[in-house]
Amino acid sequence: GQQVMQIPQYQHVQEGEDFTTYCNSSTTLSNIQWYKQRPGGHPVFLIQLVKSGEVKKQKRLTFQFGEAKKNSSLHITATQTTDVGTYFCAEIIQGAQKLVFGQGTRLTINP
């Protein structure tokens, strides 16, 4: 079935370094969403990308949707300890009214 592959599975950085997680699909994605889950918490919606080549920014976070709509990325500039958590991409399954989540990238930060 359809599944988005997310890499890396884990990433440890020094505070202030940049961080990027990638989401790849073998099929064309209609839309893609990104969520953040803090340790011990629940996932929180960050953004939805719809258009080919779309780039959206939220402060230090930059989200991109590939031109072919088969991949997406989340880039964090100058990480802070508040960025710690697991970042998930989620593929929207049109017609099935559900999301399929990637396995997530767990970000830890050394202060």
Q: By the criterion CB under 8 A, which residues form the site for another protein?
A: 30-31, 33, 41-45, 48, 88, 92, 94, 97-104, 106
Give me the least distance between CB of 55 and another protein, in Å please.
19
User: Given the complex with another protein, which of 13 and 93 has the nearer CB atom?
Assistant: 93
The minimum distance between CB 67 and another protein, in angstroms, equals: 21
Compute the least distance from the CB of residue 35 to another protein, in Å.
Answer: 8
Measured from the CB atom, the residue of 16 and 27 that comes closer to another protein is 27
The neighbour count for residue 69, using CB atoms within 10 Å, is 20
Q: Which residues contact 91 (CB under 8 A, 6 or more apart)?
A: 2, 3, 4, 25, 29, 32, 99, 100, 101, 102
User: Using an 8 Å Cβ cutoff, are 43 and 37 in contact?
Assistant: yes
